[in-house]
């Protein structure tokens, strides 16, 4: 039966959430979207209904959140709360109805990225965990771990430039984007390592080829599907 981080959402009964929630975490360019595409096809082929969700996709605030990020006008705390609004909107309107209907929900990142980002920016751990205390604990969290140096190469290959937020430029580590990117990604990785035990992640080595990562992920997901 599904559990919540601390308290259930007021209107949700855990026993009616029959589907599976599988979360893929990892930085940009770690291969999340490629893997999710492959997993969706694979699951559907096996006859499982699939719904994909991710951050910044809510109808409610996604556009406004995008604007705020572009303008870089909100404080870290305000941004954290804005992201929380976006998350709960999807939790209540996409994830929970899908789980009720027995779908497999593949989440392209979840609260863990949001918590790590906020903590690196100085948020009190207790505060950020309280915000997400009504989030559902996933059936499986797979963290695609990529070393920062590999990540840089992949990012250049795909986008020819580094992203402002993924480089942590708002934190003022360095005026140099490359230096800042490496430092920020190392910190994020460290934070995920810290969360690994507490939230029971499985860390997947994603320095490998997409194909071998794919094989690895499928094996782990199969275990969860067969276990029920």
Partner 1 sequence: MRKEDAFNQRSEIKGRLIVVEGTDGSGKSTQAHLLYEWLLGLNYKVFFSEWNSSEIVKGATRKGKKRQALTRTTFSLIHATDFADRYERQILPMLKAGYIVICDRYIFTAFARDSVRGCNLEWLKKLYSFAIIPHITFFYRVPLEVACERILSGRPQLKYFEAGMDLNLSQDIVESFKIFQGKILRTYLSLSRQYKFTTIDGTKDVHYQQTLARKIMEEKIDLSRFRKRGAV
- Of residues 101-120, which lie at the interface with partner 1 (CB under 8 A)? 118
Comparison of 68 and 224: residue with beta carbon closer to partner 1: 68
Would you count residue 130 as binding partner 1 (CB under 8 A)? yes
Q: What is the DSSP letter of 51?
A: E
Would you count residue 47 as binding partner 1 (CB under 8 A)? no
Cα angle value 90/116/158 (rounded, 5°): 80
Comparison of 60 and 158: residue with beta carbon closer to partner 1: 60
Specify the long-range contacts of residues 72-75, CB closer than 8 Å, at least 24 apart.
72/164, 72/170
- Residue 86: alpha-carbon gap to chain centroid: 13
Q: What are phi and psi of 133, to 5 degrees?
A: -70, -15
Would you count residue 69 as binding partner 1 (CB under 8 A)? no
Would you count residue 174 as binding partner 1 (CB under 8 A)? no
Would you count residue 224 as binding partner 1 (CB under 8 A)? no
Rg of the chain over CA atoms, in angstroms?
17
Comparison of 40 and 85: residue with beta carbon closer to partner 1: 85
Token pair in block for residue 11? 């209107």
Would you count residue 76 as binding partner 1 (CB under 8 A)? yes
The least CB distance from residue 156 to partner 1, in Å, is 28
């Amino acid at each position: 039966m599904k559990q919540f981080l601390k308290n259930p959402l007021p209107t949700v009964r855990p026993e009616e959430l029959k589907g599976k929630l599988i979360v893929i975490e990892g930085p940009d360019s770690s291969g999340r979207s490629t893997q999710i595409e492959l997993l969706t096809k694979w699951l559907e082929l096996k006859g499982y209904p699939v719904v994909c969700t991710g951050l910044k996709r809510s109808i409610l605030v996604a556009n406004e959140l995008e604007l705020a990020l572009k303008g870089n006008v909100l404080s870290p705390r305000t941004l954290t709360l804005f992201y929380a609004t976006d998350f709960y909107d999807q939790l209540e309107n996409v994830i929970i109805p899908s789980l009720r209907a027995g779908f497999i929900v593949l989440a392209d990142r979840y609260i863990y990225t949001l918590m790590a980002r906020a903590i690196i920016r100085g948020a009190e751990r207790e505060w950020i965990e309280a915000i997400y205390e009504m989030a559902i604990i996933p059936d499986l969290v797979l963290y695609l771990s990529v070393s920062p140096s590999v990540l840089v190469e992949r990012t250049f290959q795909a986008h020819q430039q580094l992203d402002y937020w993924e480089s942590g430029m708002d934190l003022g580590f360095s005026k140099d984007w490359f230096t800042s990117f490496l430092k920020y990604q190392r910190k994020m990785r460290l934070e995920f390592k810290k969360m690994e035990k507490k939230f029971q992640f499985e860390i997947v080595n994603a320095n490998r080829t997409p194909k071998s990562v794919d094989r690895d992920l499928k094996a782990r997901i199969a275990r969860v599907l067969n276990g029920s």
